[in-house]
Amino acid sequence: MNYYSLNHKAPKVSFEEAVVKGLAPDKGLYFPESITKLPDTFFQNIEKMDNVTIAYEVIQQFIGNEIPKNELKAILDDVLNFDFPIEKVEDDIYALELYHGPTMAFKDVGARFMARCLGYFNKDKKENNEVTVLVATSGDTGGAVASGFLGVDGVEVVILYPSGKVSDIQERQLTTLGQNITALEVDGVFDDCQAMVKQAFLDSDYEGKRVLTSANSINIARWLPQMFYFFIAYKALKSKNKKLVFSVPSGNYGNICAGMMAQKLGLPIHHFVTGTNANNVVPNYLETGKYVAKQSVQTISNAMDVGDPSNFIRIKELHNNNFETLRNNLSGYSYSDAETTESIENLYSKFNYIADPHGAIGYLALKAYLKDKTHTLGVFLETAHPIKFLDVMPKTIAKEIKMPPQIEAVLNKDKKRIKISNYNQLKSYLLS
Catalytically annotated residues? 107
Helix, strand, or coil here: 25?
coil
* Interface with ligand PLP, residue 251, by CB under 6 A: yes
User: Nearer Cβ to ligand PLP, position 137 or 180?
Assistant: 137
- The beta strand positions in 51-195, using DSSP E, are 86-90, 93-97, 131-136, 155-162, 181-186
Q: Site residues for ligand PLP, window 283-312 (CB under 6 A)? A: 303-304
Return the residue of 132, 163, 213, 252 that touches ligand PLP, per CB under 6 A. 252
Q: How far is the CB of 215 from ligand PLP (least distance, A)?
A: 12
For β-strands 243-249 and 211-213, DSSP reports them as: unpaired
List 186's β-bridge partners, or say none. 162, 420
User: Nearer Cβ to ligand PLP, position 72 or 347?
Assistant: 347
Stretch that binds ligand PLP, among 1-9, 161-169, 250-258, 262-270 (CB under 6 A): 250-258
Helix, strand, or coil here: 146?
helix
The number of angstroms, rounded, from the C-alpha of 339 to the middle of its chain's C-alpha atoms is 24
* Interface with ligand PLP, residue 358, by CB under 6 A: yes
**91: number of CA atoms within 13 Å, CB side?**
2
Q: How far is the CB of 188 from ligand PLP (least distance, A)?
A: 21
* Interface with ligand PLP, residue 370, by CB under 6 A: no
User: Nearer Cβ to ligand PLP, position 225 or 251?
Assistant: 251
Residue among 158, 140, 112, 84 at smallest CA distance from 304 = 140
* Interface with ligand PLP, residue 147, by CB under 6 A: no
**Environment class of residue 55 by beta-carbon count within 10 Å: exposed (0-12), middle (13-18) or buried (19+)?**
buried
For β-strands 13-14 and 2-5, DSSP reports them as: antiparallel
Residues 6+ apart with CB under 8 A from 282: 250, 253, 274, 276, 309, 312, 332
Q: How far is Cα 379 from Cα 376, in angstroms, rounded to an integer?
A: 10
* Interface with ligand PLP, residue 222, by CB under 6 A: no
Return the residue of 107, 112, 172, 271 that touches ligand PLP, per CB under 6 A. 107
For β-strands 2-5 and 30-32, DSSP reports them as: antiparallel
Its sign, for the CA torsion 407, 408, 411, 413, is negative
Q: How far is the CB of 161 from ligand PLP (least distance, A)?
A: 14
Element (H, E) at 212: strand 211-213
Q: What is the DSSP letter of 421?
A: -
Binding string, residues 164-183; x marks residues near ligand PLP by CB under 6 A: --------------------
Q: From its phi and psi, is residue 321 left (phi > 0), alpha (psi between -120 and 50) or beta?
A: left
Total binding residues for ligand PLP by CB under 6 A?
16
Binding string, residues 381-400; x marks residues near ligand PLP by CB under 6 A: --xx----------------
Contact 172, 185 (CB under 8 A): no
* Interface with ligand PLP, residue 102, by CB under 6 A: no
* Interface with ligand PLP, residue 142, by CB under 6 A: no
* Interface with ligand PLP, residue 255, by CB under 6 A: yes
Q: How far is the CB of 113 from ligand PLP (least distance, A)?
A: 14
User: Nearer Cβ to ligand PLP, position 108 or 185?
Assistant: 108
The number of beta carbons lying within 10 Å of the beta carbon of residue 366 is: 27
Q: Site residues for ligand PLP, window 29-88 (CB under 6 A)? A: none
* Interface with ligand PLP, residue 367, by CB under 6 A: no
* Interface with ligand PLP, residue 140, by CB under 6 A: yes
Contact 277, 299 (CB under 8 A): yes
φ, ψ (nearest 5 deg) of residue 109: -65, -50
User: Nearer Cβ to ligand PLP, position 87 or 205?
Assistant: 87
* Interface with ligand PLP, residue 254, by CB under 6 A: yes
Q: How far is the CB of 303 from ligand PLP (least distance, A)?
A: 3
* Interface with ligand PLP, residue 279, by CB under 6 A: no
User: Nearer Cβ to ligand PLP, position 67 or 364?
Assistant: 364
* Interface with ligand PLP, residue 253, by CB under 6 A: yes
What are the residues binding ligand PLP (CB under 6 A)? 105, 107, 140, 217, 249-255, 303-304, 358, 383-384
